[in-house]
Structures are given as structure tokens and as C-alpha cells.
Amino acid sequence: MARIFITGSSDGLGLMAGQLLAEQGHSVVLHARNEARAEDVRAALPQAEAVLIGDLSTLAAMHDVAQQANASGRFDAVIHNVGLGYREPRRVETSDGLSQLWAVNVLAPYVLTALMQRPERLIYLSSGMHSGGDDSLNDLQWANRRWNGSQAYSDTKLHDLLLTFGVARRWPTVRSNAVSPGWVKTRMGGAGAPDDLSQGHLTQVWLAVSDDPAALETGEYFYHQRPIKVLPAAHDHALQDRLLDICREVSGVALD
């Protein structure tokens, strides 16, 4: 039995992954933004070991959730699933002065990765939309440009890959992989999403617990349990280091 933490698991693919892992007999710790959503999660998955609480758009909550996670004990795997989608109509600025989309999609997984006791396996949710991401890493907070939600989302999903591969290089004993779940019909994916929802959580679960040799890779990007092509920029070591440096500067948290 493995112990797995899943961020942003009050709905969608995070909850689906939690449900499947619990069915398989694993111990699952879920996460919700507030007490009301935590109640919903406990009702949806009463077998969950615990539900951690915190709105991951602020640095204070990222620290707090990491602390709750560490206090609960070590995890075998963490699925960094939390995310906002490509249809955010405007730039929302957090109390830390950051773009909310970037804070939730990129900084939260970075800070939790850095502050939590290292698990054996890390899984990050990217997206096919990463291929439209801007690899200049300029103006990540959208302070100097007109908001474009789809572009901003694509950028964060490229950043998630830089984070995944950067962590895989820095921590060779930890398996750090990313997943494209397909475009599926969750609240984020929308009613018209064409891919198979019943497959959308399977690769994350497989990477979290399977001993299949293919699931024991590190520094890979998977779709339906197979490695797939990634934008070449995601494998650029200098770009990975720059993204990690930016996250360290913005958060004050180092990834040692």
C-alpha cells in the first residue's frame, strides 16, 4: 500500500485519481481550498485518510499546506494536480502581487515540492497546450501585456514541464514525471472536450503506484501511459534553471 497526496482534489481529475487509488487499497490524502470544499470531498471519498485545506493561490497557504502535509507523515507519491484553466477571463492579482493563474499552476507545485519531505515519486499535470507556451519566460505575471487566458494557461503548462524536468535533474533519486491527461470533460475541460474522460486520471495513478518498469522512469512526459513528444524547449537545462530561479526569487523558497 502506498501513501499518496493529491493537490486540488475536490473535483475533476484529482478526485478521480483519489477515488481510483483508494479503490486499489492505497492511502490517499486529498486537498481542498476551504472547509466547505473539504466537506464535499469527505462526502465524495469517505475512505480518504485526510483532507488538507488551503487556497493555493497565496504563498502563505502554500507554506501552510506543505506544513500540514509534512505533519501528516511522509508520502510515497505526490500528484501536483491543482490548476486553473485556459478560460480565465482576466488577470487576477493575488495578495502576493502575482498572476493567480501562474501562482496556482506553477508556484504552488514548486513551493510544495521544495517544502515537503521528498516522496519517491512526483507527478505534475501538464497539457498538450504546453506546445503553444512562450519559452521566453518574459513577463510571467502578465503585468505588461494584455491578458490572453489561453496563452497564459499554455505558458503555465510549459513551466510545469520545466519544473518536472528540472526537478528530475536536481533530484536523481526521485522520479519526477509529467502527464498530459488529454482534453477531457471536467469543469475545466468543458462540455465539448473530445477526449476520453475515463482515461484522464489513469496515467497519474499508474505513475504514482505502479512497478511497471515504464512507470519507473524519470524526466518523462506521458499521455495514456506512453512517453510523448514535448516541446524541445522543455528539455533546455538553462531554461529549466531559469524557471526554478524565478520561482525561488518570487517565493523566497529554495529547491535544494
Ligand X SMILES: NC(=O)c1ccc[n+]([C@@H]2O[C@H](COP(=O)([O-])OP(=O)(O)OC[C@H]3O[C@@H](n4cnc5c(N)ncnc54)[C@H](OP(=O)(O)O)[C@@H]3O)[C@@H](O)[C@H]2O)c1
Q: How far is the CB of 12 from ligand X (least distance, A)?
A: 2
Which is nearest to 204 in space by CA: 53, 82, 71, 46?
A: 82
Q: How far is the CB of 78 from ligand X (least distance, A)?
A: 13
Which is nearest to 106 in space by CA: 243, 236, 252, 241?
A: 243
Active site annotation includes 157:
yes
| Site pattern 56..75 for ligand X (x: CB under 6 A) | xx------------------
| Site pattern 22..41 for ligand X (x: CB under 6 A) | -----------x---x----
Residue span binding ligand X (CB under 6 A) among the ranges 53-61, 68-76, 161-169, 247-255:
53-61
Distance CA 39, CA 204 (A): 24
* Buried/exposed code over 210-225 (b: 16+ C-beta within 10 A; e: otherwise): eeeeebeebbbbbbbb
Residue span binding ligand X (CB under 6 A) among the ranges 79-87, 132-140, 223-231, 240-248:
79-87
Cell numbers standing for residue 162: 520545466
Active site annotation includes 153:
yes
Is 193 a binder of ligand X (CB under 6 A)? Answer: yes
Near ligand X by CB under 6 A: residue from 3, 5, 10, 175: 10
Q: Name the active-site residue from 110, 124, 153, 221.
A: 153
